[in-house]
């Protein structure tokens, strides 16, 4: 004999089936769109996202929040760091509903009147389990979470990003390609432009300033600040190396002469990464807001991570670009594991920078599908590193990024009318870049075989920046090539163990 409780249980399962069936069908139909496209989530991931949308409201809880919640729960983690969009008048409700430990910290204000806040909160107070969401969507009694709070507009992770060349940031002090040699390589000593009247914000690990080792134009073209709760001093060495590359003074260390590529530019060092080279999305957003308040021409970021677009970080990048700031970011150093640039280099409006060696060959570590490349392998600059001052040699797209930022600064000095026009600057450097194949006799013979057709422009999609040609852009033309080596073909050779 059927009891009332059994009937209620069967009825709830029936309702749930009707409720979820459209999501399952939609995900099954979407599976064909996912195949072969790494930008799409897998079928199961899309299904879970569809459930989240139906449970909590469309895109209120993105999939990466769900994934992180699940991972943190499995690890037994107590807290999660998240970003929420709220009306400022509702901020008090967070502490009211989730306790005194959940104190919202303002990150930035939106044009719609809402603001983004960062919150460190108990893991189970973020979204709860799958069946929790199902109960909530069916109108059953649940304990409130951020996902179910009606005053929370959107919910996202407070992602952690880091310097893009973390694996290659090792204690290397042997001499590589000095910044002075890079000046000669890019023809800067033959032109009169030095980045004068161009303002560059460098978001990194800060900078170490020492009176006995003044490699920076501190007195006249330098501003040092921090988003973190510290003194803004670089104790890692990464930010110091990056800034020396851009606007370091002329110094001679052990017979190696070094001079910043755009030594008359004004650099704003904004420390957004800690002394281990990582930082939260909230801190980097604050750094971007500070850079915009300085009315800079260029934002240079040798940092990144793998995270989706349409996050608060993405929105702030888009705001900077919409204001006419040229945003330049490192593509990342995952080599064959990372054929696509990391974020934010991969996002719309950002100029992504890959790395080459001094001979023009792709660095083995650089991610592909970037916009433009500069030398980033074995770059030597004066910097603080591991407690000492001297010439420091590092490799990474983190090193290529300040080289390109400096070249753009020289271009803007020559053509100030391009300030505030990031897409036009990108087009000029793509149009005028050096697409010539390096000398094949120095490296892989297979690339000079005519039968393969790779004997002319294998940098078809990957030009090396040519600032002299960019400045004289009226006389520059696109290269022509019959069978260029492209993104896909370079990745093919890499999978065979060859880095062209």
Count Cβ neighbours within 10 Å for each residue of 372-381 and write b for 16 or more, e otherwise.
Answer: bbbbbbbbbb
Pairing of strands 278-280, 160-163: antiparallel
Burial (CB count within 10 angstroms: exposed 0-12, middle 13-18, buried 19+), residue 147: buried
- Contact of 327 with 296, CB cutoff 8 Å: no
Mind telling me the catalytic residues?
204, 238, 398
CA atoms within 13 A on the CB side of 348: 8
222 DSSP β-pair partners = 267
Residues 495, 19: Cα–Cα separation, whole Å:
45
Burial (CB count within 10 angstroms: exposed 0-12, middle 13-18, buried 19+), residue 70: middle
Residues 150, 95: Cα–Cα separation, whole Å:
15
SS3 for 44? helix
Pairing of strands 79-86, 372-375: unpaired
Residues 103, 121: Cα–Cα separation, whole Å:
9
Any residues with CB less than 8 A from the CB of 114 and at least 6 apart, and which? Answer: 85, 86, 87, 88, 153
Listing DSSP states for 204-268 in one string gives ES----BTTB--B-HHHHEEEEESSSS----SSSHHHHHHHHHHBPPEEETTEEE--TTTTSEEE
Question: Which two tokens mark 335?
Answer: 């080599």
Residue with tokens 């809880």: 61
Residues 58, 52: Cα–Cα separation, whole Å:
8
């Amino acid at each position: 004999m059927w009891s009332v409780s059994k009937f209620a249980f069967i009825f709830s399962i029936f309702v749930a089936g009707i409720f979820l069936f459209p999501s399952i069908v939609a995900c099954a139909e979407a599976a064909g769109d996912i195949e072969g496209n790494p930008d799409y989530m897998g079928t199961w991931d899309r299904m879970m996202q569809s459930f989240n949308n139906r449970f909590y409201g469309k895109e209120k809880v993105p999939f990466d929040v769900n994934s992180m919640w699940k991972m943190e729960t499995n690890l037994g983690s107590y807290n999660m760091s998240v970003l929420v969009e709220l009306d400022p008048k509702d901020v008090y409700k967070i502490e009211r509903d989730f306790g005194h430990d959940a104190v919202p910290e303002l990150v930035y204000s939106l044009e719609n009147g809402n603001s983004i806040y960062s919150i460190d909160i108990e893991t189970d107070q973020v979204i709860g389990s799958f069946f929790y969401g199902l109960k909530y969507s069916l109108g059953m009694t649940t304990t409130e979470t951020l996902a179910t709070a009606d005053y929370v507009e959107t919910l996202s992770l407070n992602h952690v990003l880091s310097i893009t060349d973390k694996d290659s940031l090792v204690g290397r002090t042997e001499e590589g390609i000095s910044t002075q040699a890079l000046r000669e390589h890019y023809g800067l000593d033959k032109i009169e432009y030095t980045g004068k009247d161009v303002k560059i914000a460098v978001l990194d690990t800060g900078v170490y300033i020492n009176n006995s080792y003044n490699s920076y134009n501190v007195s006249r073209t330098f501003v040092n600040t921090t988003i973190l709760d510290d003194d803004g001093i670089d104790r890692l060495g990464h930010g110091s190396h990056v800034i020396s590359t851009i606007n370091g003074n002329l110094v001679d260390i052990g017979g190696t002469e070094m001079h910043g590529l755009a030594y008359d530019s004004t650099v704003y060092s904004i420390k957004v990464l800690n002394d281990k080279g990582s930082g939260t999305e909230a801190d980097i957003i604050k750094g971007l807001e500070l850079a915009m308040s300085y009315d800079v021409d260029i934002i240079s970021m040798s940092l990144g991570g793998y995270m989706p677009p349409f996050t608060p970080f993405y929105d702030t990048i888009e705001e900077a670009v919409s204001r006419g700031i040229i945003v330049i970011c490192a593509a990342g150093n995952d080599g064959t594991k990372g054929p696509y640039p990391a974020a934010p280099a991969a996002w719309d409006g950002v100029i992504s920078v890959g790395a080459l060696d001094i001979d023009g060959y792709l660095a083995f570590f650089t991610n592909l599908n970037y916009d433009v490349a500069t030398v980033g392998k074995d770059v030597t600059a004066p910097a603080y590193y591991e407690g000492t001052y001297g010439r420091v040699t590092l490799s990474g797209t983190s090193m290529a990024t300040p080289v390109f930022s400096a070249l753009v600064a020289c271009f803007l000095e020559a053509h100030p009318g391009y300030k505030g026009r990031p897409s036009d600057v990108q087009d000029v450097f793509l149009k005028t870049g050096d697409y010539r194949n390096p000398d094949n006799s120095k490296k892989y013979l297979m690339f000079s075989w005519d039968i393969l057709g790779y004997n002319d422009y294998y940098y078809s999609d990957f030009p090396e920046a040519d600032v002299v040609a960019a400045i004289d852009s009226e006389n520059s033309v696109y290269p022509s090539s019959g069978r260029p080596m492209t993104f896909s073909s370079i990745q093919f050779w890499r999978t065979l163990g060859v880095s062209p």
